[in-house]
Amino acid sequence: MKIVLPDKKIIIQKREPAIIKDILEGLWINPSSVIVAKNGDIVPEDVIAEDKDEIKIIFFAHGG
Amino acid sequence: MNNPNICSICGKPAAVRLSNPDRRLCAEHFIKDAEKRVFEAIDAGKMIREGDRVLVGLSGGKDSTALILILSEYVKTRPGVKLIAVTIDEGIAEYREDTIKAAERLVEYTGVEHGIISFTELFGDTLDRLVADRKNLACSICGVLRRRSLTEAARRFSADSIATGHNLDDEAQSVLMNMLRGDKPSLIQDSSLGYTGYFVPRIKPLAVLSEKEIVTYILLKDFYSPLPECPYAVTALRMEARKIIGTLEEKYPGTKLNIVKFRDGIREHVPYSPKGKLNTCKICGELTSGEICQVCRVLNRKQ
């Protein structure tokens, strides 16, 4: 799985299918402070991501 | 995931899951849903009347981006309403330049009339220079000067109201912050609204949308661009309030809305009436509750 972090760093890891919310929490990211795109499409965090997927995490919790 | 991730309306893949009521929506139906909620809030709160000239505070950041896009949709069904966007250029190096470009792109897209007012023009200098020896006070000084700038813009453009991009998170955080400070007057009366009846009314059409919904909306409309953080942003208590409410919202969806509803309930039962009468500032002549207005005080203007 390819995970693109808010600071553009990329993590590549082999993993079993998992709920995105759990993936975020495993990275110490609060799901309420980010939006997630799976393979380019925005999805709710209770969607499952598989090893072949790319997850992009967009952090937004700052100024208006 | 208990249910398949499909839009509750059309069955396409869902982009968001919302609560109250629990539903999943695709990009197209989420955009419509968010706009509908804002339109309903505007109408229920009688924020905009037929024939109004509405000044839109357009910083170019995420909230005001959503605000101008949604209000542009709103006025399509109310041709008598006129929007005027105004960007306040505080004079913050390596920050405001990018957001002004974003604002210009938005007014080009929406076709809304646009004006830029700078602190240099109104107050004689940039924020950077005005706070050079008191950077710890930059946020509060900027807030005072921005409010005056919007008032001046409303005057120049003969606006009937000023729309700002405050969202549900901002409002819920302010409630908690007021409680933590023991600040009952601010809980009862929104200080950003000023004295009702004396100043141009402020409206907050986006206060029904969470920050996450707003960013999702502009991402789906392809207007999201990460912009630099204001170098003076040091709101420690707000960050704490954000964390606490964010955690609670995750566990108990609807928390933010309930906090704001609770505040609104209090406001209905405890009507606000300002103490004392308003005077004109002895230095600049603007309305003030004391003898010298806040703007003249933060600028250290002398009589």
Look at residues B147, B140, B207 and name the one whose alpha carbon lies nearest to residue B172: B207
The whole-number pLDDT of residue B43 equals 95
A-contacting residues of B 248-287, CB under 8 Å? Answer: 249-250
* Cut 0.80: pTM above it: yes
Q: Provide, as residue numbers in chain A, all residues whose Cβ is less than 8 Å from the Cβ of B13.
A: 41, 43
- Give the separation between CA B261 and CA B172, rounded to whole angstroms: 9
B59 with A64: Cβ contact below 8 A: yes
The whole-number pLDDT of residue B290 equals 84
Q: Provide, as residue numbers in chain A, all residues whose Cβ is less than 8 Å from the Cβ of B92.
A: none
pLDDT band at A30 (very low <50, low <70, confident <90, very high): confident
Angle between helices B27-44 and B211-220 (to 10 degrees): 130
- Whether the per-residue pLDDT at B99 is higher than 90: the answer is no
Q: What is the pLDDT of residues B244-287, one digit of tens each?
A: 998 898 888 899 999 999 999 988 887 666 566 778 899 998 88
Q: Where in chain B is the domain with CATH 3.40.50.620?
A: 30-276
Q: What is the pLDDT of residues B10-36, one digit of tens each?
A: 999 999 999 888 899 999 999 999 999
Q: Provide, as residue numbers in chain B, all residues whose Cβ is less than 8 Å from the Cβ of A40.
A: none
Q: Per CATH, the architecture of B30-276 is what?
A: 3-Layer(aba) Sandwich (3.40)
Cβ pairs A/B, distance under 8 A: 65
CATH of A2-59, one of 2.40.128.120, 3.40.50.300, 3.40.50.720, 3.10.20.30: 3.10.20.30
The whole-number pLDDT of residue B140 equals 85
Q: What is the pLDDT of residues B102-147, one digit of tens each?
A: 999 999 999 999 999 999 999 999 999 999 998 888 888 998 999 9
Q: What is the pLDDT of residues B190-204, one digit of tens each?
A: 655 555 556 788 999
Mean pLDDT of A39-56: 96
The closest CB to that of B220, out of A31, A42, A60, belongs to A42
Q: For A16-20, B231-235, B267-271, which range has the lowest pLDDT when averaged over its residues? A: B231-235
| Boundaries of every domain in chain A | 2-59
The whole-number pLDDT of residue B234 equals 64
pLDDT band at A35 (very low <50, low <70, confident <90, very high): very high
The closest CB to that of A35, out of B61, B215, B233, belongs to B215
Q: Provide, as residue numbers in chain A, all residues whose Cβ is less than 8 Å from the Cβ of B215.
A: 35, 58, 60
